[in-house]
Amino acid sequence: MTPLAQRATRALHLARAADPDHTDRDTSQPTRRLRAHQARELAALLGVDPGHVIATADPNRAYGSYPGHLLTITDTTTYRFIPELGTDTVFYLLGPCPGCGAEVPVADIAQLADLGHHLTAGSPAPFHAQRWDTNHQPRCPHGGTD
């Protein structure tokens, strides 16, 4: 197998691990292009191999009738991000909500140093509630609107 074929096969395995039915989704061409663009932007922002960034439909967030975009980075650890609505240069790192345990935005990442700050801020890292996120559980003190 050629090096390109090996990398492509590895990327497929990573994509299936992140979203088992990702190749079976009926996704419009503009949506696929936007997700691919966001994946490249996140890879460049964080300095990771683009083959390690998997862009899929977000099973927990939708914008009207359109599913949100979920970006999964598989390194020695898995990191998951959603893009800030209306931009492809700021991403929200997802992590557990201290109030309900749901996977919600825990830090906004506009540069690699932002992720470093979050990861080295102590244990547990400071939580900045994103009340707008729909993945909070009912009656979560961090969910809902202000």
- What is the rounded CA–CA span in Å between residue 102 and residue 93? 13
Residue type, 78: T
pLDDT per residue as tens digits for the range 26-65: 467 777 888 889 999 999 999 998 888 988 888 888 878 8
Which stretches does DSSP call E strand in 1-146?
Answer: 53-63, 66-74, 78-83, 91-96, 103-109
pLDDT per residue as tens digits for the range 94-145: 998 888 888 999 888 999 999 998 888 766 666 666 777 888 888 888 876 5
